[in-house]
């Protein structure tokens, strides 16, 4: 309507004023419905053409959209394991600090595993004490075997010396018996030494490895036990938390509730503009929004991000080919808008719907002096007609509460 009124000021109104005051024609006499169309047909046609052209220029170079939402992040409250709820520490809706407990699962099985792992560590430590005693016993046996071996050697040496002096004093059979005894005592020393080495290896290598395994099992059991206590990973607010003692919680099928982190979202708006406007949407463009949760307010914004993909065109590889006809609705270009000034979104409720305008600026091109006269005029016109869109947005902000509360029946 604004475009039509503006274009009529350049076409129909001058024509009417000329015929009314210059030619002296009167309304109701010479100026009738038929004569208005017949005499002003060129002005009416030109007005309609200018209106269509102006609307095209305005909406293409200064795009607008109602698909604007203040998205915020939610965190599902999920345990890392299945189980039955034993305790609940929060209510249906309340604030919660980071690290605060939310609920606890039944941990009887996990506690038994922890106790079993602790007992295994105690058992290994007891075996280490026994292994030390075994080493001491083996040392004693080595000393005993070495003494017997030395005694056999001395006795053999004595008999051999006597045999050399007088073979008749010592029988040959006695010498063979002593030699066999020496070999046996030497084997006893070797056996006692091997027993000691085995005990030392068990104390130094085997039992520490078993203790380390038991400690790892204890650590794993304690981790499994800690998973039964679900805590808040971030500070925020728990909403719609209806979990109660006795409920079964499954991390794959049934979340326990929703946690909304403090300071939700990224303090930015996400807007979906038409695909035809992808050529003019640039990072750094000025924008304005008005939101339902904060009526009668225009918030200056700036474009900080333009997604290079259209979400409706994505597909996941599977066993069937994707038919383009299955995309029933054309997608939009996702644009991230952030407030131009600090605290610009204060008062806007997260999740609120908004209306956004983005404005193309050709100031840099005009200031460069590298454009021709016709292009200079065209760029000036493009920048000037942004005023029309700004007026429309302010009218929408003015009528938004009336449209919502009165005309919308809410």
CA 282 distance to own-chain centroid: 26
Provide the pLDDT confidence category of residue 357 given band limits of 50, 70 and 90.
Answer: very high
| Number of Cβ atoms within 10 Å of the Cβ of 252 | 7
pLDDT average, residue stretch 136-163: 70
Q: For residue 48, is pLDDT > 70?
A: yes
Write the secondary structure of 191-216 as one string of H (helix), E (strand) and C (coil).
Answer: HHHHHHHHHHHHHHHHHHHHHHHHHH
Segment among 57-61, 316-320, 379-383, 393-397 with least mean pLDDT = 316-320
Q: Is 7 helix (H, G, I), strand (E, B) or coil?
A: helix
Q: For residue 60, which of 386, 393, 396 has the smallest C-alpha distance?
A: 386
DSSP state of 253: T
Is the pTM higher than 0.75? The answer reads no
**Confidence (pLDDT) at 356:** 92
**Confidence (pLDDT) at 39:** 66
Q: For residue 178, is pLDDT > 70?
A: no
Q: Positive or negative, the Cα torsion across 368, 369, 371, 376?
A: positive
Rg (CA), the chain: 47
Segment among 139-153, 191-205, 224-238 with least mean pLDDT = 139-153
**Confidence (pLDDT) at 37:** 66
Provide the pLDDT confidence category of residue 337 given band limits of 50, 70 and 90.
Answer: very high
Strand partners, 261: 236
Provide the pLDDT confidence category of residue 358 given band limits of 50, 70 and 90.
Answer: very high
Report yes or no: 269 and 354 within 8 Å, Cβ to Cβ. Answer: yes
**Confidence (pLDDT) at 33:** 65
Q: For residue 409, is pLDDT > 60?
A: no
Q: For residue 269, which of 350, 330, 390 has the smallest C-alpha distance?
A: 350
Provide the pLDDT confidence category of residue 288 given band limits of 50, 70 and 90.
Answer: very high
- Per-position DSSP letters for 275-300, written without gaps between them: GGGTTT--TT-EEEEEETTEEEEEEE
**Confidence (pLDDT) at 10:** 62
Q: Dihedral through CA 386, CA 389, CA 395, CA 399, nearest 10? A: -150
**Confidence (pLDDT) at 171:** 64
Q: For residue 410, is pLDDT > 60?
A: no
**Confidence (pLDDT) at 162:** 66
């Amino acid at each position: 309507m604004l475009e039509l009124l503006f274009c009529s000021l350049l076409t129909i109104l001058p024509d009417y004023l000329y015929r009314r005051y210059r030619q002296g024609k009167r309304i109701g006499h010479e100026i009738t419905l038929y004569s208005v169309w017949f005499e002003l047909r060129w002005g009416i046609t030109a007005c309609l053409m200018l209106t269509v052209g102006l609307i095209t220029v305005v909406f293409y170079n200064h795009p607008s959209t109602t698909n604007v939402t203040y998205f915020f992040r939610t965190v599902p409250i999920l345990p890392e394991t299945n189980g039955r709820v034993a305790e609940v520490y929060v209510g249906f809706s309340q604030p919660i600090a980071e690290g605060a407990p939310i609920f606890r699962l039944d941990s009887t099985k996990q506690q038994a595993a922890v106790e079993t792992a602790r007992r295994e560590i105690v058992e290994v430590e007891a075996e280490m004490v026994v292994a030390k005693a075994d080493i001491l016993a083996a040392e004693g046996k080595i000393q005993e075997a070495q003494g017997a071996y030395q005694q056999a050697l001395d006795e053999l040496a004595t008999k051999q010396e006597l045999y050399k002096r007088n073979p008749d004093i010592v029988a040959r059979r006695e010498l063979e018996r002593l030699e066999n005894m020496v070999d046996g005592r030497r084997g006893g020393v070797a056996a006692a030494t091997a027993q000691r080495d085995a005990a030392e290896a068990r104390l130094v290598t085997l039992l520490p490895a078993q203790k380390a395994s038991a400690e790892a099992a204890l650590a794993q059991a304690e981790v499994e036990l800690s998973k039964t206590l679900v805590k808040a990973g971030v500070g925020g607010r728990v909403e719609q938390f209806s979990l109660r003692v006795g409920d079964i919680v499954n991390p794959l099928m049934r979340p326990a509730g929703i946690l909304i982190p403090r300071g939700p979202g990224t303090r930015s708006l996400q807007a979906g503009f038409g695909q035809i406007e992808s050529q003019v949407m640039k990072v750094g463009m000025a924008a304005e929004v008005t939101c339902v949760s904060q009526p009668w307010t225009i918030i200056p914004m700036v474009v900080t991000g333009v997604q290079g993909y259209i979400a409706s065109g994505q597909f996941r590889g599977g066993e069937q080919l994707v038919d383009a006809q299955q995309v029933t609705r054309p997608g939009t270009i996702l644009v991230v808008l952030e407030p131009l000034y600090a605290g610009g979104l204060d008062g806007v409720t997260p999740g609120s719907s908004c209306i956004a305008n983005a404005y193309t600026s050709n100031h840099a091109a005009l200031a460069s002096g590298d454009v021709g006269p016709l292009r200079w005029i065209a760029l000036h016109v493009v920048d000037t007609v942004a005023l029309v869109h700004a007026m429309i947005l302010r009218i929408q902000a003015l009528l938004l509460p009336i449209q919502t509360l009165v005309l919308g029946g809410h």
